[in-house]
Amino acid sequence: MTQAELDQLVAQIGEEILSRLNRPIPAKGEGLNLKDQVCPGCQQRCPQTCAKNTREIIAAGADRVSASEKLTRIDPAIAALIDHTLLKPEAARADIQKLCREARHYGFASVCVNPYWVPLVVGELSGSGVKSCTVVGFPLGATSTEAKVAETAAALRAGAREIDMVLNIGALRSGDHEVVKLDIQGVVNISHEAGAIVKVILETALLDDNQKAVACTLAKLANADFVKTSTGFGPGGATAQDVALMRRVVGPEMGVKASGGIRTLEDLKIMTAAGATRIGASASVKIVEASAA
């Protein structure tokens, strides 16, 4: 920052402070709202969500930055339910890095990405407590068990600690139950050896209720940790009815993840009331910020 830019910033900060002294304190924080510093998609909650503005405030002479609790009253219990997810094939490096920054800031359970991005995510989340999650056999579930195991092994070597695998939907619908169980078991065994957990994606929109129940039972017999509703790429997403059915089948000892079409805090509450213990969402920030309203 040049001296002229610094002088301009200091002047703007001074004007903002003086103007605030002569008007009521707003119900929600407005941040500094410097016209030439507002980021795209700014939520006007600086400096908590904007490291750039924090650095510039410090450069202007501050040696400590504080913030009102009114700006950060996010429910951590809600954030801890969410796998912050971006599985679109067009997602670029900057998109994944943004996803990780948001996950660190809000304290999401994990960041769930396609396997290629696992090394980047592991590095970005280092020291945060947010887990790295990836998908296997995604989104169709129709690859061989050997391919799924190899994909899982590579993800684990890269640092993934949660594996969301798609079961063999066609084999399930064909009644090849032992094939489905062994498919899941192959991924579970190698994951558990590495200390990682496995969530089995059923793609519930392609199954009838009996097939959903069978899939949950097979996942349980294969020692999976979670059953999960959907990939988000199928013909439908999570429903409360499916979540409730899955919970009844697996009982209290397994996790149930609702994923696909969960975009609001109300959606999340409906799914958790039905029995979900983890939520997969790309609208995670919108959901947790709604919990602060």
Residue among 291, 281, 293, 257 at smallest CA distance from 99 = 281
Give CA–CA dist 129/107, Å, rounded.
8
CB 85 within 8 A of CB 259: yes
278-281 and 255-259: which strand pairing? parallel
Question: Which residue of the set 131, 148, 164, 181 is catalytic?
Answer: 164
Question: Which residue of the set 212, 225, 228, 267 is catalytic?
Answer: 228
DSSP string across 150-211: HHHHHHHHHT--EEEEEP-HHHHHTT-HHHHHHHHHHHHHHHHHTT-EEEEE--GGGS-HHH
Question: Which residue of the set 131, 148, 212, 257 is catalytic?
Answer: 257
Give CA–CA dist 75/291, Å, rounded.
6
CB 258 within 8 A of CB 276: yes
> Is 228 a known active-site residue?
yes
Catalytic residue numbers read: 164, 228, 257
